[in-house]
Amino acid sequence: MTNPDHLRLLHSMLRVRRMEELCAELYTQEKIRGFLHLYIGEEAVVTGVMSLLRPQDNVMATYREHGHALLKGVSAKLIMAEMFGKVEGCSKGRGGSMHLISAENRFFGGNAIVAAGIPQAAGLALAAKRHETMNMAALWKIPILFCCENNLYAMGTALSRSQSQQEIVKKAESYNIAAVSVDGMNIFDVIEKTHAALDFVKREQKPYFLEFKTYRFRPHSMFDPELYRKKEEVQKWKERCPIDFLTKYLIEHDGASQDVLNKLKIEVEQEMQDAVSFAENGTLEPVENLEKNIYENDL
């Protein structure tokens, strides 16, 4: 009997992977423009973490956030329409790939300034806590889970070339924040450590830091010629593909049939193709609306 939870996880990973693959294709067709940062290779992290969040939990992400938005509940259609710059997009075509935002899904972007989302996330957590418990003892006990997706590179600069202390966890510990390192290619490790971290955050109303050691298989963005790393290195990491890992686990330990796995793929493909059609058929916002939404009330 196939474990339905495992199957659901694989489904999520495949959705993220397939959406990204389509984005890459659509980019070369010039349907998607601007900067495009793909998450391929890192799927276990977002899948594991998001599977443990509640709808009311707030999420802030970086510019490599398509999968995060998708798994926080933003539909593939709205995401794809946003990539196409259509008014049906989750940010009405004002944000694009790097600024997927959905207040309804408590997904607050999509921030293209490195690290700028960190204090904003802390502020959101502060507000959430205020709403729950107006009378608190120490304000700085903020319930927030920091997820560092350590894919080893800042654009093209390897961690080892920019940081004297490469154990990221130690940096968090120096702020007296509980911190743990996670195998970001192993969905089970992601889930186990994230589960414990979220328990801690909710129980203690304090921050917790998780470093997910992961790897992006694709270049930093579509403009990146990847001169800074060797093909062998990428190949080595690809052998640890988180989707292959879970698929293999499902076959070997859960006895998942090829039929079940194929159905899953077909389902994902259908969802993503529908999203692309939705985006293709979306409307461009009239230019007369350009100056809307600068202030709540137009000046």
Partner 1 sequence: MKMTYREALREGLQEALETDPRVYLMGEDVAAYGGTYAVTKGFLEKYGPEKIIDAPLSEVGFTGIGVGAAIGGLRPIVEIMTVNFSLLALDQIVNGASILRHMSGGQLSVPLVIRMTTGGGRQLAAQHSNSFEGWFAHIPGIKILTPSTVEDARSCLYFALLDPDPVLIFEHALLLNSSAEVTEKPTRESLFKAAVRKEGSTLTLITYGGMLPRCLEAAHEFDGTGDKIEVIDLRCLRPLDNEAIFRSVRKTHRVLIVDEGWRSGSLSAEVSARIMESCFFDLDAPVQRLCRKEVPIPYARHLEIAAIPQKQDILNRIQEILS
Residues that bind partner 1 (CB under 8 A): 58, 60, 89-95, 99, 101-104, 108-109, 113, 116, 118-128, 130-131, 134-136, 138-139, 292-297, 299
Residue 214: name the closest of 63, 21, 47 by CA.
47
CB of 163 to partner 1, least distance (A): 20
CB of 86 to partner 1, least distance (A): 11
CB of 299 to partner 1, least distance (A): 5
Closer CB to partner 1, 54 or 230, in the complex: 54
CB of 36 to partner 1, least distance (A): 17
Burial zone of 260 (CB within 10 Å; 0-12 exposed, 13-18 middle, 19+ buried): middle
Enter the tokens of residue 94: 């004002």
Closer CB to partner 1, 29 or 297, in the complex: 297
Closer CB to partner 1, 15 or 64, in the complex: 64
CB of 222 to partner 1, least distance (A): 21
Angle between helices 242-253 and 4-28 (to 10 degrees): 150
Residue 187: name the closest of 5, 4, 2, 1 by CA.
5
Closer CB to partner 1, 122 or 180, in the complex: 122
Closer CB to partner 1, 287 or 294, in the complex: 294
- For 132, other C-beta atoms within 10 Å of its C-beta total 10
> 76 φ, ψ to 5°?
-60, -35
